[in-house]
């Protein structure tokens, strides 16, 4: 039977302390559900006595039943001046309606003297009496030995005494914390081994921060030394540089070490849950994040793509679908024929067009294009070369201007003229967020007369890159935008000396691709399958004139 490592998620508490992360009440409830479906063992919901939001969260959770996970309330040991039965923090945890709690206490004598300003003996009593009082009221009580490894290096005997005090109070798990994130794996191994030797038969846990970039390595060192519980956060969220990343650790434990965590069948949920968490936090995803990042299974070099096409194991340590991710073949100036063929196998029967496509990509990349994050623009380019693509509309021209109003209030206005079949539509829009926003609105307004489905497309990211910075104000700019329609997302780009023209190119490609996807989904054309589509003829509706 596989050894089971208990997964303790603290994204809702420690993770929310990351700079820029501020989960709403609804966010916390939705993330709790996602974590439960992922089948982590414990979900640390927050600190009931620290703020109204956490108190409200636990009140909401009273009526909600988790299918797998156990909800945990966090708090600290009693204050020095209060006996346990009069401590408001402990009372708040006991009243939170949970079956489990995690109490943090000092394990470093420096903190006891300089932060708490109590005697070493008093700190031991604070730990034991707090845990003892809660243990009489809850099923499970865990002890977070804060700064354990720093304390163990400074005063090994006292650091171990704090664990013994927690054990005497009835703690079910003793969590050894690298709170400052400054330890190395060898120090973690020694500390865990010594704690296991001093408290035989006691379940130890590990809680690592990532200040030196070693939270994952240190967590693995602790588990290798006998720890049975792993604390961490989704995507490595957390104070300062973050906590140990569960999205990395869980697949490493399951796939590389053969241990049981959330179960092999649930690994496929990791990537969707990771991305869902980024969305709730309103933070950009880390593309290079192991296992779940967009670049984790992205292949760019021709040699790599050639190997992958023959056997994925040549350049992938695990299959992307196991963790819910997908393989991506990136096309750039580094691409060879194998890269093009891997993504567009229909070119195999047309070697002349394949070489044309490759030459075109290399020429455009030399001019400043970069298709790695603009998959939709690349698809449109290849389909044009294949002769299998008929645009849904044609942009005939646009204008954009910004005007500063009274009180430093700036309003932008844009007009566009588009052709759809034998119709020409001319629309104008205003926006308070700049000329690109106004262009986007005007373009959608024109297209929506014939294609109302464009209203469902959302611009989710907009980035500007200077291509040749030495040209100063005359430099080319590359605009890359990300768009979304339901669960699908795609990237498009434009390059020009004029930032508005580059932006318009990217916007047009985005909406062309969206309509192409919709036509395929609705069975209205077979352009995506390689058949030449018929010319669109639009009905006369809205403000339009015959061309």
pLDDT digits (tens, 9 = 90+) for 465-524: 887 766 666 678 899 999 988 878 899 999 998 999 999 999 999 999 999 987 766 533
- Tell me which of 39 and 519 has the higher pLDDT: 39
Count helices and strands (H / E) in the chain.
Answer: 17, 17
Residue 168 belongs to a domain = yes
- Tell me which of 421 and 133 has the higher pLDDT: 133
Is 388 a residue whose pLDDT tops 60? yes
Residue 384 belongs to a domain = no
pLDDT at 397: 93
**CATH number of the structural domain spanning residue 463:** 3.30.160.270
Once rounded to an integer, what is the mean pLDDT over residues 373-382?
86
How far apart are the C-alpha atoms of 491 and 482, rounded to whole Å?
4
Residue 244 belongs to a domain = yes
- DSSP letter string over 471-502? GGGG--EEEEEEEEETTEEEEEEEEESSHHHH
Question: Quick one: 92 and 14 in the same domain?
Answer: yes
pLDDT at 546: 31
pLDDT digits (tens, 9 = 90+) for 154-173: 999 999 999 999 999 999 99
pLDDT digits (tens, 9 = 90+) for 341-368: 666 777 677 777 777 777 777 788 777 8
Count of domains forming the chain? 3
Question: Quick one: 401 and 310 in the same domain?
Answer: no
Question: Quick one: 60 and 139 in the same domain?
Answer: yes
Question: Quick one: 230 and 124 in the same domain?
Answer: yes
Q: Kindly report the CA angle at 142 between 178 and 216, in degrees rounded to 5?
A: 30
| 328 to 210, 271, 308, 340, 372: CA distances (angstroms) | 29, 15, 11, 12, 9
Question: Quick one: 236 and 353 in the same domain?
Answer: no
CA atoms within 13 A on the CB side of 204: 29
pLDDT at 505: 94
Three-state SS for 394-463 is EEEEEEEEEEEECCCEEEEEEEEEEEECCEEEEEEEEECCCHHHHHHHHHHHHHCCCCHHHHHCEEEEEE
pLDDT at 74: 97
Domain that holds residue 216: 6-281
Q: Percent of the chain scored above 90 by pLDDT?
A: 63
Residue 153 belongs to a domain = yes
Question: Quick one: 302 and 157 in the same domain?
Answer: no
pLDDT digits (tens, 9 = 90+) for 87-129: 999 999 999 999 999 999 999 999 999 999 999 999 999 999 9
pLDDT at 342: 66
Q: Using 50, 70 and 90 to split pLDDT, how confident is the model at 404?
A: confident
Distance, C-alpha 151 to centroid of its chain: 34
Convert 199-229 to b/e letters by CB count within 10 Å (16 or more is b).
Answer: beebbbbbbbbbbbebbbbbbbbbbebebbb
Is 525 a residue whose pLDDT tops 80? no
Residue 477 belongs to a domain = yes
pLDDT digits (tens, 9 = 90+) for 188-234: 999 999 999 999 999 999 999 999 999 999 999 999 999 999 999 99
Residue 287 belongs to a domain = no
How far apart are the C-alpha atoms of 248 and 99, rounded to whole Å?
29
Residue 70 belongs to a domain = yes
Question: Quick one: 255 and 117 in the same domain?
Answer: yes
Question: Quick one: 215 and 90 in the same domain?
Answer: yes
pLDDT at 241: 96
- The mean-pLDDT minimum among 47-56, 133-142, 421-430, 464-473 falls in 464-473
Sorted by sequence, the CB contacts under 8 Å of residue 20 that are 6+ apart come out as 281, 283
423 phi/psi in degrees, rounded to 5? -105, 145
Question: Quick one: 466 and 441 in the same domain?
Answer: yes
Residue 388 belongs to a domain = no
Sorted by sequence, the CB contacts under 8 Å of residue 529 that are 6+ apart come out as 520
pLDDT digits (tens, 9 = 90+) for 68-98: 999 999 999 999 988 999 999 999 999 999 9
Question: Quick one: 326 and 469 in the same domain?
Answer: no
pLDDT at 326: 85
pLDDT digits (tens, 9 = 90+) for 226-274: 999 999 999 999 999 999 999 999 999 999 999 999 999 999 999 999 9
pLDDT at 533: 34
How far apart are the C-alpha atoms of 392 and 445, rounded to whole Å?
15
| 536 to 83, 134, 226, 391: CA distances (angstroms) | 79, 71, 67, 8
pLDDT at 534: 34
pLDDT at 78: 95
How far apart are the C-alpha atoms of 447 and 395, rounded to whole Å?
10
Residues in the chain: 547
Radius of gyration of the chain (CA): 29
| 109 to 180, 200, 517: CA distances (angstroms) | 15, 24, 63
| 498 to 398, 434, 473: CA distances (angstroms) | 13, 15, 10
pLDDT at 81: 84
Question: Quick one: 517 and 481 in the same domain?
Answer: yes
Three-state SS for 231-256 is EEEHHHCCCCCCECEHHHHHHHHHHH
**CATH number of the structural domain spanning residue 191:** 3.20.20.70
Give 48-57 contacts, CB < 8 A, sequence gap 24+: 48/73, 48/75, 48/92, 48/93, 48/95, 48/96, 49/75, 49/88, 49/89, 49/91, 49/92, 49/93, 50/75, 53/25, 53/28, 54/13, 55/92, 56/25, 57/12, 57/25, 57/28, 57/29
CB count in 10 Å sphere of residue 275: 18
Question: Quick one: 317 and 440 in the same domain?
Answer: no
């Amino acid at each position: 039977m596989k050894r089971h490592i208990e997964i303790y998620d603290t994204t809702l508490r420690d993770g929310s302390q990351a700079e820029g992360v501020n989960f709403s009440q609804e966010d916390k409830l939705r993330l709790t559900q996602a974590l439960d479906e992922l089948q982590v063992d414990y979900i640390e919901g927050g600190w009931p006595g620290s703020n109204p939001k956490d108190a409200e969260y636990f009140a909401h959770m009273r009526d909600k039943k988790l299918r797998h996970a156990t909800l945990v309330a966090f708090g600290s040991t009693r204050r020095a001046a209060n006996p346990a039965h009069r401590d408001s923090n402990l009372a708040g945890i006991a009243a939170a309606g949970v079956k489990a709690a995690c109490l943090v206490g000092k394990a470093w004598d420096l903190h006891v003297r300089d932060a708490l300003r109590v005697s070493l003996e008093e700190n031991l009593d604070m730990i034991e009496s707090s845990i003892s009082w809660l243990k009489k009221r809850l099923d499970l009580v865990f002890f977070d030995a804060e700064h354990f490894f720093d304390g163990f290096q400074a005063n090994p005997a006292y650091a171990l005494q704090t664990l013994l005090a927690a054990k005497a109070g009835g703690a079910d798990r003793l969590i050894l914390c690298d709170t400052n994130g400054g330890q190395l794996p060898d120090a973690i191994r020694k500390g865990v081994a010594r704690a296991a030797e001093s408290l035989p038969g006691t379940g130890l846990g590990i809680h690592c921060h990532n200040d030196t970039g070693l939270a994952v390595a240190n967590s693995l060192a602790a588990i290798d030394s006998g720890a049975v519980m792993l604390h961490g956060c989704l995507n490595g969220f957390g104070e300062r540089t973050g906590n140990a990343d569960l999205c990395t650790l869980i697949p490493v434990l399951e796939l590389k070490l053969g241990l049981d965590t959330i179960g092999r069948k649930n690994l496929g949920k990791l990537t969707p849950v990771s991305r869902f968490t980024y969305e709730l936090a309103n933070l950009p995803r880390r593309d290079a994040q192991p296992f779940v990042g967009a670049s984790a299974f992205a292949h760019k070099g021709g040699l790599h793509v050639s190997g992958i096409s023959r056997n994925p194991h040549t350049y992938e340590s695990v299959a992307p679908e196991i963790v819910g991710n997908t393989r991506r073949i990136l096309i750039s100036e580094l691409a060879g024929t194998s890269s093009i063929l891997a993504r567009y196998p229909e070119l195999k029967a047309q070697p002349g067009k394949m070489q044309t496509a490759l030459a075109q990509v290399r020429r455009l990349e030399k001019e400043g294009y970069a298709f790695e994050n603009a998959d939709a623009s690349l698809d449109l380019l290849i389909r044009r070369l294949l002769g299998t693509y008929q645009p849904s509309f044609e942009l005939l021209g646009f204008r954009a201007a910004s005007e500063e109003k009274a009180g430093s209030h700036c309003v932008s206005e844009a007009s566009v003229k588009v052709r759809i079949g034998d119709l020409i539509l001319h629309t104008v829009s205003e926006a308070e967020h700049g000329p690109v926003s106004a262009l986007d609105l005007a373009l959608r307004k024109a297209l929506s007369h014939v294609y109302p489905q464009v209203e469902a497309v959302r611009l989710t990211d907009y980035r500007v890159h200077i291509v040749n910075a030495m040209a100063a104000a005359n430099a080319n700019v590359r605009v890359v935008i990300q768009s979304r329609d339901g669960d699908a997302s795609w990237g498009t780009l434009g390059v020009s000396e004029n930032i508005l023209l580059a932006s318009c190119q990217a916007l047009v490609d985005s909406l062309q691709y969206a309509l192409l996807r919709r036509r395929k989904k609705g069975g209205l054309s077979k352009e995506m399958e390689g058949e030449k589509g018929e010319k669109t003829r639009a009905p006369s509706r809205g403000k339009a004139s015959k061309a």
